[in-house]
Amino acid sequence: MVEGLNARIGFAIAASAVGSSFQHGYNTGVLNAPQEMITRWVKGYVCPDVVDQAIVFLEEQSGNVTRAAEMMADSEEWGPLAAACNTNCTIIWSWTVAIFCIGGMMGGTLCGFVSSRLGRKGGLLLNNILVVIGATLMGLAKYAGSYQMLIAGRLVIGINSGLNAGLAPMYLSEISPTSLRGALGTVYQLIVTLSILLAQVLGMNNVLGTEDGWPWLLAITAVPAIFQLATLPFCPESPKYLLLDKDDEMAAQSALSWLRGTIEVHDEMDEMKQEQESMKLVPKVTLKEMLTNGSLRRPLIIAMMMMLAQQLSGINCAIFYSTKIFETAGLDAQDSQSATLGMGSMNVLMTFISLILIEKAGRKTLMLIGLVFMFLMTTLLLASLLTFKSVPIMSYVAIVAVILFVVGFATGPGSIPWFFVTELFAQSGRPTATSIAVSVNWSANFLVGLGFEPIRLLFGPWVFMVFMVIQVFFIVYVFLFVPETKNRTIDEITASFRK
């Protein structure tokens, strides 16, 4: 057995991470497959009169409904109306996708407040109320004939995911022994990748990616919430929260004994008491203190830059547009879907490998290796997209480049930023810092999602040059400014910033 790992801490990891990070990953990837069916359904509600009248009118002339629809698009009378209908549907779809990230930003800003007032465990449990509301709105939207319900559901589940992105890594970090802190922090991203893959599998057209199946596809997000509500109450609150925030030494020792499976927890208790004494020497950390105190501002900037490195590296563009890249490379729709699933599987595998390596190689090393590998694969992808028409073999090189790009991401940039912020701050500053870092992450996610397609339309394949420049910048930044935190206590890490 891995040192420090036992059945009880394994149960606490499953109870806290499965129900929380699942929402983040699953709802990131779940809309990719049913996009065409949902937009067709939306069209029926946005402009039913225009479509119905046009088809009836043109059917009288063509005698064929399918032909009528084609004629409608070309007709001087109905063409502009159909174009307006399509534009409105595109806007609605864009908001359906983007509102999830807006919800994530909102949830991220609440992390500090919720984790301080309700605790890490309490916040995770209460957050499941939002899952139930979101899943109900999304699952019943089609039957209620309301695309507004779908958008509202995506907003609510986004708020839930934003909160989870701060609360779950914080809880995992605080219940883990120092030797396992990085590995347990990586669990959050591992389940995110697993749930994205599950969303892709369930969204296939022979599973739930059908006209009748897509409401169920969206409502399934409630299942892990039920699992968490059934299991997490049996786990203790974070011992650090109980001692450092609530000043309840007995409860903290009891929680720590439960997690370690032994009453011999004096060394860890002494370490936490040492951190408690250090906290008494500094004033309560407010947002103003975080921004004006150099020993807090520096780790905050590092935490924010790590989050930006994750989102601005171009990973979401590779995931969202992978199927389109594979189709451009000559694969048919079915093979493109299979290649995308292969990419998702590789993402899971490499995240699992990074979970094993992180306590051996270290955070900074894996982050640098991942970013350098992503830069090389982005360069290869750009070269492939520029030359595949004249050199057919380059179309297959593009497929390999996308898959290996994801491998580079999963090696470090995918998982490390989520828990790294919890390692840079003592208990007093951790909630505020996590709130800021998570909000920055979701904001960058939103901006990349919003800006990539217009830039791609303007510059074509050269859009990847933007990501190459960003990747080089973050490689240099991580190398020069990011400290290694492997096998160091929180007190040691924070003391280095006070020098």
| pLDDT tens digit sequence for 243-254 | 888 889 999 999
- The parts of the chain modelled with pLDDT lower than 50 are 1
Q: Which residues fall within 8 angstroms of residue 373, CB to CB, at 6 or more apart?
A: 404, 405, 407, 408, 411
Alpha-carbon gap, residue 390 to 54, rounded angstroms:
44
State the pLDDT at residue 141: 92
CA torsion angle 47 51 53 55 (round to 10): 180
| pLDDT tens digit sequence for 176-185 | 887 787 788 7
pTM of the model: 0.84
How many beta carbons lie within 10 A of that of residue 339, not counting itself? 20
State the pLDDT at residue 429: 83
Alpha-carbon gap, residue 308 to 292, rounded angstroms:
22
State the pLDDT at residue 81: 63
State the pLDDT at residue 263: 85
What does the block give as tokens for 131? 């899952």
Domain parsing of the chain, residue ranges:
1-235, 282-499
State the pLDDT at residue 58: 54
In CATH terms, 282-499 corresponds, of 3.30.530.50, 1.10.645.10, 1.20.1250.20, 3.40.640.10, to 1.20.1250.20
Question: CA 113, 117, 120, 126 torsion: positive or negative?
Answer: negative
Burial class (CB in 10 A: 0-12, 13-18, 19+), 454: exposed
What's the topology of domain 1-235?
A: Growth Hormone; Chain: A; (1.20.1250)
Q: Please determine whether the domains at 1-235 and 282-499 fall in the same fold group of CATH.
A: yes
State the pLDDT at residue 62: 55
